[in-house]
Amino acid sequence: MMLPESIQSLINALERLPGIGPKSASRLAFYLLRAADDVSEDLALALANLKANTAFCQECFNITEAGRERCEVCESVRRDGSVICVVEEALDVLALERTGGYQGKYHVLQGVLSPIEGVGPDDLKIKQLIARVANGGVKEVILATNPSMEGDATAQYLHSQLKPFGIQVTRLARGLPMGGDLEYADQNTLSRALSGRQNM
């Protein structure tokens, strides 16, 4: 069945989003077609405002309001500027902020090293991180990349780049989740839990 061009172009646009396949894209497009006009209008306005009203912090590369040079975290005098937590994406900052347990500053790489996808050190915000550390005042860099092959490779690369500065470079602990059962844990998780064990 041939669809009107406006519907097909919306389906094609939705399919480009992560986690949205052809069926989900079609369902969303037809939902928006049937929904009240204000649903589509609100979505269109939100998408237009997304690009127009957001920018990247010039210090840590987290997302901030357009027109601001630095984000709230970088501007805060209550945050500890001697500790920088390095994350892959801005969503990781949100996750860490929800814990309420971190009071340092951040650096968002905007991705991870991935030779297969052609992502090298120059494609990430690594030079900017090195420059921040080189400016002095940083005592610790926490590498909080994801526990994946790419995340581990990125952490190793960053460690090698930061080593000459003589600062403390740490990695987030890994292991068993709260409420998890040993019998359901995979081999890598158990291995890391054993190697990262702590005194009681």
What integer is the mean pLDDT of 55-84? Answer: 95
Over the stretch 136-171, which tens digit does the pLDDT of each residue have? 999 999 999 998 899 999 999 999 999 999 999 999
User: Any idea what DSSP says for residue 164?
Assistant: G
Q: How far apart are CA 84 and CA 37, in angstroms?
A: 45
Q: How far apart are CA 132 and CA 21, in angstroms?
A: 40
Q: How far apart are CA 9 and CA 111, in angstroms?
A: 28
Q: How far apart are CA 141 and CA 155, in angstroms?
A: 11
Residue 115 in tokens: 């030779």
Q: How far apart are CA 85 and CA 172, in angstroms?
A: 10
- Please give the CATH superfamily to which domain 1-37 belongs: RecR Domain 1 (1.10.8.420)
Over the stretch 76-107, which tens digit does the pLDDT of each residue have? 999 999 999 999 999 999 999 998 889 999 99
Is the domain defined by 79-171 classed in CATH 1.10.10.10? Answer: no
Query: Torsion angle, CA of 15/18/23/29, rounded to 10 degrees?
Result: -60
CB 66 within 8 A of CB 53: yes
Secondary structure (DSSP) of 84-149: EEEESSHHHHHHHHHHS---EEEEE-SS--BGGGTB-GGGTTHHHHHHHHHTS---EEEE---SSH
pLDDT, position 76: 94
> Domain-by-domain residue ranges, the chain?
1-37, 79-171
Look up the pTM and report it.
Answer: 0.82
pLDDT, position 25: 94
